Amino acid sequence: MIAAFMFAMLVLGVPIGVAFALVVMAKADAWNIDVSSLASIPYDTVSSFPLLAIPLFLLGGELMNRGGLIRQLTAVCDALLGWVRAPLGYIMILASALMGAITGSSVATVAAIGGTVGKEMTARGYPLGYTAALNASAALLGVLIPPSIPLILYGSVVGVSITQLFTASIGPGVVMMLAFCVVHRLVVGRVLAGGQELKPAHSPRQGPGREGLAKLLVRSIPALVLPILVLGGIYSGVFTPTEAAAVAALYALAVTVIGRLTRVGELPGIFSRAAAASAAILVIIGFTSIFNRAMVLEQIPQNIATYATTLTDSPLVFLLVVNVALLLIGMVMETNAATLLMGPLLAPAAAKFGIDPVHFAIILVTNIELGLLTPPMAANLYVAARTVGSNVISLLRYLAPFLLAAVAVQALITYVPQLSLWYRYIP
C-alpha cells in the first residue's frame, strides 16, 4: 500500500525528497518516528561539512562554464587530438572527463560539453542523435572522474573516506573513457557520411601548428590548472574534498574576474544559478534522510543483509543481483536520491559478504549512474537532447553501443576489484 502511494507520487512528478518525506509522515506512528525528528533529521543531515562540497563544486563549474574556461579546455583537446580520424568524438569524451574533474556532476557535464563541443560536432556533419547520444554517455565520466557528487554523498551517509572513494574511481573512470573511445572508433564510419568529418567553411580544420599549440596551451593554463589544483590538493593531503571545492570555486572566480572573462555584473546570476541547482540536490539529501532513518529504525538494511545471506553465500551472485536491482532502480530514480537510499540499505549486506566498502561504493554509484542513460528517469538523455537540439527518439537509435560499453565496464568494475582498489597495490 505504502509502496503504491510512493510510486503514484513519483509518477505524478511530486519532488523526490517531498515524496519520501510524505511517506514517512503517513507512516510515522507505525515506524516509531517521533514527529519532532521530522525537522531535526533533515537539518542535521544538510548541516554537514562534507556536503558543502556540492554547492561549491557546482559554483566552480558554473563559473568555469560562464567564463568560457570550458571552451578553452575543449580547444586544447581539439589541438591535441586534431590529427586522428573523426577527432570531435574523442574531444567530447576527453572534455567530459576534464569537466568531470571540475564539477563532479554528470548532468552539469552534459550541459557544458553539449553546448560547446556538441554544436561543433553538428557543424561537422555528425547526426544530431549521435552527438546527443555521445554527449549523454560521455557525461557519465562527470561522476566517475573525481571529484564526484554521488561519491561524496555515499561517503558521508555510509561513513567511507571520500578521498579513498575519489582515488578508487580513477581506474574505472579511465577504463570507461577508453571504452567510449573504442565505441566511437568502431561506429563513426557508419555515422558520418564518407566516414570523415566535414570541414565547415566558417571554421576550417587546420592544426594550430607547433607555435599555435604552444600559444593555445599558454592561454589555457588557467583552465588546465584547475583539475590539477583540485585533485592534487586532495591527494597530497593539503585539502579535504570540501576545501578543494572552495579553492576550485575561488580560483574559477579569480580567473574569470581578473581575466575579464565575465563581467562583475553577471556574477549574481552565476551565483543564483549555482544556488538553485544546489538547493534542488540538498532538498533530496535532506528529506530522503528521514526515510533512511525510518529504514534503519525498522532494521531494513539488516534484514536485507540477513535475507541476502540466506539466498546465497556467494559474493559473486550477490553482486550480480545487486547489479540488476540497481540498474532497475537507476531507471526510475534520480542518481543522488538512489545513492542516498540504496547506499545505507545495501552496504551492511555487502560487508557481510566480505566486499570491500570502497569497492562496493564504486559498484553502487557506477551502477546507479547507468540509470542516467536508461529511461524513464534518464536525465543525461533528456538534457543532452535539449542541449544538442536532437529529439530523444533519434538519440536512442545511437545509444545502444555506448550503453553496452558502459554495462561491460560496470561488469569489469564489479568482478575485478583491483580496478577500483589499485591504489592499495602501490607500495
Partner 1 sequence: MTVTALETRRAVPGGWLDATELRIFRAERWLCSAALVVMLVAVSISVVARYFNLPIPNVGEFATVAMSPLAFVGAALCTFLQEHIAVDVIKLVRSESVQRVVRGAVALSLLAFSGVYVWVGYTFFEESLHSGETLIDMGTPVAVPVFFLFLGMVLMVFHAAMELWRVMAGRPAATLGEAE
Which residues in the 336-355 window bind partner 1 by CB under 8 A? 336-337
Q: Considering beta carbons, is residue 352 or 386 the nearer one to partner 1?
A: 386
Grid cell locating 261: 572573462
99-129 exposure pattern, b = at least 16 Cβ within 10 A, e = fewer: bbbbbbbbbbbbbbbbebbbebbbebbbbbb
Q: Which of residues 40-99 bind partner 1 (CB under 8 A)?
A: 40, 42-43, 46-49, 51-52, 55-56, 59
For the bound state, the minimum distance from the C-beta of residue 233 to partner 1, rounded and expressed in Å, comes to: 9
From 203-211, 235-243, 298-306, 415-423, give the range in contact with partner 1 by CB under 8 A.
Answer: 235-243
For residues 163 and 234, is the Cβ–Cβ distance under 8 A? yes
For the bound state, the minimum distance from the C-beta of residue 46 to partner 1, rounded and expressed in Å, comes to: 4
24-52 exposure pattern, b = at least 16 Cβ within 10 A, e = fewer: beebbeebebeeebbeebbeebbeeebbb
For the bound state, the minimum distance from the C-beta of residue 50 to partner 1, rounded and expressed in Å, comes to: 10
Q: Residues binding partner 1: what is the number (CB under 8 A)?
A: 71
For the bound state, the minimum distance from the C-beta of residue 56 to partner 1, rounded and expressed in Å, comes to: 6
Q: Choose, by CB under 8 A, the member of 160, 249, 347, 405 that binds partner 1.
A: 249
By the rule CB under 8 A, 19 interacts with partner 1: yes
| CA 50 – CA 339 distance, rounded (Å) | 16
Q: Considering beta carbons, is residue 41 or 101 the nearer one to partner 1?
A: 41
By the rule CB under 8 A, 228 interacts with partner 1: no
The closest of 139, 183, 192 to 404, measured between CA atoms, is 183
Q: Which of residues 378-397 bind partner 1 (CB under 8 A)?
A: 379, 382-383
The interface mask with partner 1, positions 259-288, x = CB under 8 A, is ---------xx-xxxxxxxxxxxxxxxx--
For the bound state, the minimum distance from the C-beta of residue 280 to partner 1, rounded and expressed in Å, comes to: 5
Q: Considering beta carbons, is residue 126 or 239 the nearer one to partner 1?
A: 239
By the rule CB under 8 A, 412 interacts with partner 1: no
Q: How far is CA 92 from CA 111, 121, 126, in A?
A: 12, 9, 12
From 20-28, 192-200, 220-228, 402-410, give the range in contact with partner 1 by CB under 8 A.
Answer: 20-28
By the rule CB under 8 A, 234 interacts with partner 1: no
For the bound state, the minimum distance from the C-beta of residue 83 to partner 1, rounded and expressed in Å, comes to: 34
For the bound state, the minimum distance from the C-beta of residue 9 to partner 1, rounded and expressed in Å, comes to: 6
Q: Which of residues 118-157 bind partner 1 (CB under 8 A)?
A: none
> What are the counts of helices (DSSP H) followed by strands (DSSP E) for the chain?
22, 0
By the rule CB under 8 A, 289 interacts with partner 1: no
The interface mask with partner 1, positions 154-173, x = CB under 8 A, is --------------------
For the bound state, the minimum distance from the C-beta of residue 289 to partner 1, rounded and expressed in Å, comes to: 11
| CA 291 – CA 417 distance, rounded (Å) | 31
The closest of 53, 410, 49, 29 to 230, measured between CA atoms, is 53
- R_g of the chain, CA atoms, integer Å: 22
| CA 191 – CA 198 distance, rounded (Å) | 12
- Residue 316 has a CB neighbour count (10 Å cut-off) of 11
By the rule CB under 8 A, 238 interacts with partner 1: yes
Q: For residue 181, with 0-12 CB atoms within 10 Å meaning exposed, 13-18 middle and 19 or more buried, which class applies?
A: middle
Q: Choose, by CB under 8 A, the member of 6, 216, 224, 250 that binds partner 1.
A: 250
Q: How far is CA 40 from CA 25, 44, 100, 146, in A?
A: 14, 6, 33, 31
For the bound state, the minimum distance from the C-beta of residue 143 to partner 1, rounded and expressed in Å, comes to: 14
Q: Which of residues 93-112 bind partner 1 (CB under 8 A)?
A: 107-108, 111
| CA 227 – CA 65 distance, rounded (Å) | 14
For the bound state, the minimum distance from the C-beta of residue 268 to partner 1, rounded and expressed in Å, comes to: 6
For residues 289 and 45, is the Cβ–Cβ distance under 8 A? yes
| CA 228 – CA 245 distance, rounded (Å) | 12
For residues 195 and 187, is the Cβ–Cβ distance under 8 A? no
By the rule CB under 8 A, 358 interacts with partner 1: no
By the rule CB under 8 A, 332 interacts with partner 1: yes
For the bound state, the minimum distance from the C-beta of residue 409 to partner 1, rounded and expressed in Å, comes to: 25
